[in-house]
Copies of this chain bind each other. A is one copy, B any other.
Amino acid sequence: MTEASTRPASLGAAHTDLSAYDADTTERALIERRARHLGVGLLFYHDPIHLVRADGVWMYDADDRAYLDCYNNVPSVGHSNRRVVDAMVTQAAILNTHTRYLHEEVVAYAEELTATLPDGLDRVVFVNSGTEANELAMRIARTVTGKRGAVVMENGYHGNSNLIADLSLMGVAPDARAPHVAGVEPPDIHAGPFTGDDAAERYAALIDPAIAELDDRGEGLAAFICDGIFDSQGGLEAPAGYFPDVYTRVRAAGGLCIADEVQPGFARTGLMWGFSHEGVVPDIVTFGKPAGNGYPLAGLVTTDELMNAFTSRNIYFNTFGGNPVAAAVGRAVLDEIVDRDLCAHVAETGAYLRAALEGLHASHPEIGNVRGRGLYQGIALVDPTTGDPNPGLARLVPDAMRDAGALMGMTGRHGNVLKVRPPLVFDRANADQLVATLDRALTDLT
């Protein structure tokens, strides 16, 4: 769910090769200080950007130059959102503590959150990051199934801890795979192995041999975990029927179905939850990034039955998870989504943006396809003659867009997908600016 693949490591290794940067003196000094004392130093852009303030969909650098944010999903209800900041400071000035004392705020937040989910998904655990949420989901799955294995997507990403890094095949060398992990091909109907009318069934059928692999290795199946917007694939729309078929196979083998909603959750796709597009109800839903609009807030929701089975055999406590400030912030974000009707806004703006991006294909044949949902759109760049992925072009685009005042990402298994994933308050005028800027950038670069 992070963007570890968004920029090739060579572009981000600011701590190892400063000579690559043509930043001015102030930025260069900051980069050098950063390299001396920060441990993991990936930076976006060849010429790293020094941002000092932000408001809504706009970010501003140290020279007060404005950038249209077409990339950041964490500040989902807008950078520096006043309602969220007010909720944070109001609560922080009164009380911040843990969940072992009674507090109204965390209970109210849990009630409001579960009300957005299907019946049965009633029990929430708040944690601090998507990684922690997925860690706990796997602890629950391993406890209740008595098995250890997970089926995941090839090139997927779920977080940065030891176990979750094992499950994130994007970052794992082929010879370094853990025995408790089996990968399946993501349901890519554009460039994957199955692109015909039977693609949903053929992709879903890959689950069975993956489960058999885990059984053969003595691990067994604890869970299937999937990010339904397929962020690290550059965004995909699973073909209709794929998820119901997969869930049936996973459950038949005794495994749990975990929906990693860290990317698609909280209205990103035009519905509150991404899995609602798919006709399935997961056993565990994990969420993170946009939940606190930047405040470290994440969690999971599951059923009474699974939660009770877990707590009967484990003691789990999370120091910061569900603290009153986090809960107040989370409620403010939910309130913003509801009061501003952001699901409808995202669906409408996303459709408008999608049509405009697809319209670029006529003058830019290097756009192979556009895919995604709502305000998550991936633009796959290809060689117009062969149709092959074109990472060489794709890696130049974010820098060119940045120079033209728009922030955009790049991702995908082949490094050829431009990623558009702005704050949810992004509107039609913003979409027009993005498309016009991209049009010019592609013209200049090709």
- Residues of chain A touching chain B, judged by Cβ–Cβ distance below 8 Å, are 1-4, 9, 12, 15-16, 27, 30-31, 33-34, 36-44, 48-54, 59, 72, 74-75, 79-80, 82, 85, 88-89, 92-104, 106-107, 110-111, 114, 122-125, 127-132, 135-136, 138-139, 142, 160-163, 165, 171, 288-289, 293-296, 300, 302, 307-308, 311, 314-320, 322-323, 325-326
Q: How many Å lie between the Cα of A94 and that of B49 in the bound state? A: 17
Most chain B CB within a 10 A radius of its CB, from A124, A307, A318, A319 = A319
Let me know if A171 and B97 touch, CB within 8 A.
no
With contacts A101-B51, A102-B27, A135-B161 taken as known, whether A130 is within 8 angstroms of B319 at the C-beta atoms is yes
Can you sample 16 A-B contacts with CB below 8 Å?
Answer: A27-B102, A34-B107, A38-B124, A44-B100, A50-B101, A51-B97, A53-B94, A53-B95, A80-B93, A85-B89, A85-B92, A128-B129, A132-B132, A136-B161, A160-B316, A288-B319
* Cβ-defined contact, A171 with B51, below 8 A: no
Tell me the complex Cα distance, A289–B98, Å. Answer: 11
Q: Which residues of chain B have C-beta atoms less than 8 A from A308's C-beta?
A: 16
Interface hub of A296, A317, A325 (most chain B Cβ within 10 A): A296
Contact B33 A107 (CB under 8 A): yes
A23 to chain B, nearest CB (A): 8
Give Cα distance in the complex from A44 to B97, angstroms.
13
B85:A38 contact, CB within 8 angstroms = no
Does the CB pair A107–B72 fall under 8 Å? no
The answer for the CA separation of A142 and B322 in the assembled complex, in Å, is: 31
Contact B160 A51 (CB under 8 A): no
Contact A103 B51 (CB under 8 A): yes
Contact B54 A97 (CB under 8 A): yes
In the bound complex, how far is the Cα of B326 from the Cα of A163, in angstroms? 26
Question: Once the chains are docked, how many angstroms separate the CA of A44 from the CA of B50?
Answer: 45
The distance in angstroms between the C-alpha atoms of A351 and B157, with both chains bound, is 50
Smallest CB gap from A96: residue in B: B294
- The answer to whether B139 touches A49 (Cβ under 8 A) is no
B39 with A124: CB separation less than 8 A: yes
- A99 — which chain B residues lie within 8 A by C-beta? 38
Q: How far, in whole Å, are A392 and B34 apart by their CA atoms in the complex?
A: 53
Contact B85 A93 (CB under 8 A): yes
**Main secondary structure on chain A at its contact with chain B?**
mixed
Picked from B42, B92, B101, B318, the residue with its CB within 8 Å of the CB of A100 is B42
| Residue of A39, A52, A104 with highest tally of chain B CB at under 10 A | A39
- The CA of A139 and the CA of B163, in the complex, are separated in Å by 10
Cβ-neighbour of A89 out of B30, B74, B89, B98 (below 8 A): B89
Contact (Cβ within 8 A) A96 B75? yes
A307 touching B102, Cβ below 8 Å:
no
Contact: B171 with A314, CB < 8 Å?
yes
Question: Which chain B positions have C-beta within 8 A of A59?
Answer: 95, 97
Beyond contacts A37-B122, A49-B101, A85-B89: 15 other A-B pairs, Cβ-Cβ < 8 A, are A9-B315, A30-B107, A33-B107, A38-B99, A38-B110, A40-B317, A43-B102, A44-B100, A49-B102, A72-B97, A74-B97, A89-B89, A128-B128, A129-B318, A138-B162
Contacts of A33 in B (CB 8 A): 107, 111
Name the residue on B nearest A138 (C-beta): B162
Q: Which residues of B contact A293 (CB under 8 A)?
A: 96
CA gap between A5 and B317 in the complex, in Å: 10
- Nearest 10 Cβ contacts at the A-B interface: A96-B294, A39-B125, A37-B110, A296-B296, A128-B128, A296-B320, A89-B89, A50-B102, A135-B161, A39-B123
Task: Note all chain B residues with C-beta closer than 8 A to A316.
Answer: 4, 40, 160
Question: Cβ of A123: which chain B residues have Cβ within 8 Å of it?
Answer: 37-39
Most chain B CB inside 10 Å of its own CB: which residue of A99, A102, A130: A102
Distance to closest chain B CB from A79 (angstroms)? 7
Report if A43-B163 is in contact (Cβ < 8 Å); known contacts: A171-B314, A319-B288.
no
B44 touches A101 (CB 8 A): yes
Shortest CB–CB separation between residue A34 and chain B, in angstroms?
5
User: In the complex, what distance in Å separates the CA atom of A374 from the CA atom of B268?
Assistant: 49
Answer whether A317 and B135 are a contact pair too, CB < 8 Å, given A49-B102, A88-B89, A102-B48: no
Are B162 and A139 in contact, CB atoms less than 8 angstroms apart?
yes
